[in-house]
Chain A
Amino acid sequence: MIPEIGQITLALALALALVQGILPMFGAQRGISSWIALARPLAWLQTAALALAFALLTYSFLIHDFSVAYVAHNSNTQLPTQYLVSAVWGAHEGSLLLWALILSAWGAAVAHFSRSVPDVVVARVLAVLGLVSVGFLLFMILTSNPFDRLVPSPVEGRDLNPLLQDPGLVIHPPMLYMGYVGFAIPFAFAVAAMLGGQLDAAWARWSRPWTHAAWIFLTIGIALGSWWAYYELGWGGWWFWDPVENASFLPWLVGTALMHSLAVTEKRGAFKAWTVLLAIFAFSLSLLGTFLVRSGVLTSVHAFASDPGRGVFILMFLFAVVGSSLLLYAVRANEIKSSVRFELMSRETFLLLNNAILLVSTVAVLLGTLYPLIADALQLGKISVGRPYFDTVFMILTLPLVALVGVGSIARWKRDSGERLWRRLRLPAAVAVVLALAHSLLLVPFFNPLTLLGMTLAFWVVASTLAGLRDRMRPHNNLRHIPRGFWGMTLGHLGLAVFVIGVSMTETYSIEKDIRLAPGETYALGDYSFEFKGVDTVQGPNYTAFEGTVVARQGDQEIAQLSPQKRTYLVQKMPMTEAAIDAGLFRDLYVALGEDLGDGAWSLRVYHKPFVRWIWLGTLIMSLGGLIAATDRRYRVLARRVAPPSGATGSVRG
């Protein structure tokens, strides 16, 4: 009964989304205020319907209703409760439901927080979101219905993929989806603005906090995925340039470009057409990411449970969304030219460079990701693009970007002089070079030119960002007058520096050894030694595991007892490596069990990874910066000032 109610709820949500996509849109174009007024309630109703559907599916998991195919395939009576809940989005159908729910919830959030925005604009925005929702719900109902029954229903479920039975994976997908789907909001604002023919600073101001919000979630989502891969896949790497990782990274790159270009559009009224285009790209790449992950066209560690038939639908949907929005753009582009002038030496130029570099990097990553697909389609053979391609290209392209951060954030809008910038920046530059040289010559085990470059750039970003902060403190010489937007930028850039330090140090000074150890043997790794005490069998709730005991020492002092596991999950018979990590701010000690080599001996991975935490710490600081920027006072001040009297529908222009 419950699954049938779920079916009906989904159909209801589809109907609501359809109405939300059509009536407010027509209302806005024709000036029918009663239709415009429908947008907000419909957004709420659609969210309520999808929340109910989601709750019903969760309930089916909690009561182990294996007559529901999706539950039977992804759950088990032995599965711990927290994973029963997270199993709801553990596979394709449920992911889509979560996706649709988040999309509608973003819409409801717009309905709630955009009281200051003219109703006619909100109506258009919500209508665009409604249409996107129609596409997703159709896809779900037609190809991947989570409530489909399984006849006859099995007594026991097939269990959740063991890789996903992990706290990191409980929150990683929702965060990522919040980010992916969040870029639908700037997209909807862009389309709404093109439809209404009003693209001004006010539009950029409405759209900015939403872009920040989506970006924050995407950043956290990607960082969580990276962290999970680090400890769960048992290889000790933090980024693999896996197609699915790239799928989430591409919208992040364009989203970052969008944040910066929105700043120019809001503050200076420039880059308008470009910003609109970026908003379209960011969301298109989110959809492309869905296509790549869900169609199974790519060989990837994520490509489990994939179905090519579904890919066709998403691809068509992608073409419909991108095609129609680009068509609209082509029709309206000449009306949204920016007439604002700026000099070659100005903040605008530096932000333009930021956008250029981010876009070129996006294209490079996209090319590497899609090349195997294209080659396959053209019968050029089964090709894969190696990790070194991404490492080399991405590093060379983005190092100048890091170098520009310091200049761009200090340069003045409209016009600046090279001479003034030099005077402002020579001290930070000198500090950066001296600190990095001292670090590279005195503090690390051996000299590496790339690390020196990375550290110089990181110190440069810190020093120039602090110099910018000091500039901003004038004339009152206190911090209270600094708006949150500026704090957001400062933290964002400092986070980038922390990230760059983490990458520079980890990539150069990590020691990674795969070794064979018999019980009682000790292996020395740099300053540390690892004593292998042997392996025991332990019993988990739904798995059995070999658990090794490894004592890590620094000199003679014991610093950690590590218990890496090799689990075998009972239902899927799938082996899983659980690495044991002694984490620290300046270094991780990482031990993972390899294979049983007989006579009690095992192969082990023993890693020393300096500064690896800084990679995720940096991304956290970046997202914190985003959060602070998104809550800048001027978005709220605007809300109060422009807020129309309640009941007013605003003037409508056709």
Chain B
Amino acid sequence: MKARHKRFGFVVLGLVILAASATLVLKALEGNLSYFFSPTEVTAGEAPADHVFRLGGMVQEGSVQRAKGDLTVNFVVTDHNKTIKVAYSGILPDLFEEGQGVIAQGRLGSDGTFVAEEVLAKHDENYMPPEVAAAMKAGEQARMQGALTEQKL
């Protein structure tokens, strides 16, 4: 084989591998992205109705209810402005607790209940996922603003 042909062979091989893997990677990435939304944003209808997303905030105090007989559990996620009901079937993580930060991944049901496939809780006493921290801050601000507007009225 001539050197020219050989080099051409390498280049073609390289390009084919590169093109195939780039397509694969981008396709897979597109299908597996999930966005984060706070209860306020979900209430405003910003979350996708037909795609998986992540909902984050605090587990509202006194909202955790377990079903009798199976592993279904219901709780409410709040950002101190709006709340979203969450339904989950399975074992909650060790650090799941009322009044603590939580992230749930799943879809929004037709009745407005968020059906979680996966529930993540923080992994440290002092640590809150940055998304949740930001959502709580935004929720707090929205609530303050709402209160101010009411006062003016």
A, B assembled together: yes
Q: Which residue of B lies closest to A364 (CB)?
A: B25
B124 touches A367 (CB 8 A): no
Chain B residues with CB under 8 A of A631: none
Chain A residues with CB under 8 A of B124: 161, 304-305
Q: Cβ of B131 < 8 Å from any Cβ of A?
A: yes
A386 touches B94 (CB 8 A): no
Q: Which of A189-197, A223-231, A573-581, A582-590 contacts B (4 or more CB under 8 A)?
A: A573-581
B131 touches A299 (CB 8 A): yes
**Least CB distance, B151 to chain A, in whole angstroms:** 32
Chain A residues with CB under 8 A of B33: 371, 383-386
- Say which residue of A352, A393, A594, A605 sits within 8 Å of B28 (CB atoms): A393
Chain B residues with CB under 8 A of A574: 94-95, 125
Chain B residues with CB under 8 A of A353: 13
**Least CB distance, B93 to chain A, in whole angstroms:** 8
Q: Cβ of A382 < 8 Å from any Cβ of B?
A: yes
Q: Cβ of B18 < 8 Å from any Cβ of A?
A: yes
B32 touches A389 (CB 8 A): yes
Chain B residues with CB under 8 A of A603: 71, 91
Q: What string of 1s and 0s marks CB contacts (under 8 Å) between B65-76 and chain A? A: 010011100000
Q: Cβ of B137 < 8 Å from any Cβ of A?
A: no
Q: Which residue of B lies closest to A574 (CB)?
A: B125
Q: Which B residues, 8 to 54, have Cβ-Cβ distances below 8 Å to chain A?
A: 9-10, 13-14, 17-18, 21, 24-25, 28-29, 31-36, 52, 54
Q: Cβ of B6 < 8 Å from any Cβ of A?
A: yes
B91 touches A595 (CB 8 A): yes
**Least CB distance, B3 to chain A, in whole angstroms:** 7
Interface size class of A (residues with CB under 8 A): 35 or more
Q: Which residue of A lies closest to B66 (CB)?
A: A597
In the complex, A417 Cα to B45 Cα: how many Å?
63
Asked if A360 meets B21 with Cβ closer than 8 Å, knowing A161-B124, A597-B66, the reply is: yes
Q: Cβ of A143 < 8 Å from any Cβ of B?
A: no
Chain B residues with CB under 8 A of A566: 94
Interface size class of B (residues with CB under 8 A): 35 or more
- Say which residue of B18, B92, B95 sits within 8 Å of A595 (CB atoms): B92
Q: Which residue of B lies closest to A386 (CB)?
A: B32
A573 touches B31 (CB 8 A): no
**Least CB distance, A164 to chain B, in whole angstroms:** 11
Chain A residues with CB under 8 A of B66: 597-598
In the complex, A573 Cα to B17 Cα: how many Å?
52
Most-contacted residue by chain A among B14, B91, B130, B134 (CB, 10 A): B91
Asked if A163 meets B25 with Cβ closer than 8 Å, knowing A356-B17, A514-B71, the reply is: no
In the complex, A344 Cα to B68 Cα: how many Å?
67
In the complex, A515 Cα to B70 Cα: how many Å?
7
Q: Which residue of A lies closest to B9 (CB)?
A: A344
Chain A residues with CB under 8 A of B95: 574-575
Chain B residues with CB under 8 A of A367: 25, 29
In the complex, A364 Cα to B21 Cα: how many Å?
9
B123 touches A163 (CB 8 A): yes
Chain A residues with CB under 8 A of B69: 516
Q: Cβ of A30 < 8 Å from any Cβ of B?
A: no
B34 touches A304 (CB 8 A): no
Q: Cβ of A368 < 8 Å from any Cβ of B?
A: yes
In the complex, A455 Cα to B84 Cα: how many Å?
46
Asked if A344 meets B10 with Cβ closer than 8 Å, knowing A304-B124, A304-B127, A574-B95, the reply is: yes
B36 touches A356 (CB 8 A): no
Chain A residues with CB under 8 A of B130: 296, 299
Chain A residues with CB under 8 A of B109: none
Q: Cβ of A426 < 8 Å from any Cβ of B?
A: no
Q: Cβ of A152 < 8 Å from any Cβ of B?
A: no
In the complex, A368 Cα to B13 Cα: how many Å?
25
Q: Cβ of A303 < 8 Å from any Cβ of B?
A: yes
A605 touches B127 (CB 8 A): no
Q: Cβ of A651 < 8 Å from any Cβ of B?
A: no
Chain B residues with CB under 8 A of A594: 71, 91-92
**Least CB distance, A572 to chain B, in whole angstroms:** 6
Chain B residues with CB under 8 A of A109: none
A385 touches B29 (CB 8 A): yes
A301 touches B123 (CB 8 A): yes
Q: Cβ of A55 < 8 Å from any Cβ of B?
A: no
In the complex, A49 Cα to B6 Cα: how many Å?
55
| B positions within 8 Å CB-CB of A | 1, 3, 6, 9-10, 13-14, 17-18, 21, 24-25, 28-29, 31-36, 52, 54, 66, 69-71, 90-92, 94-95, 103, 123-127, 129-131, 134
Q: List 25 A-B contacts (CB under 8 A).
A: A161-B124, A299-B103, A299-B130, A299-B131, A304-B124, A304-B127, A344-B1, A344-B6, A344-B9, A352-B10, A357-B17, A364-B25, A381-B36, A382-B36, A383-B34, A384-B33, A384-B34, A385-B33, A386-B33, A387-B32, A389-B28, A514-B71, A572-B125, A574-B95, A597-B66
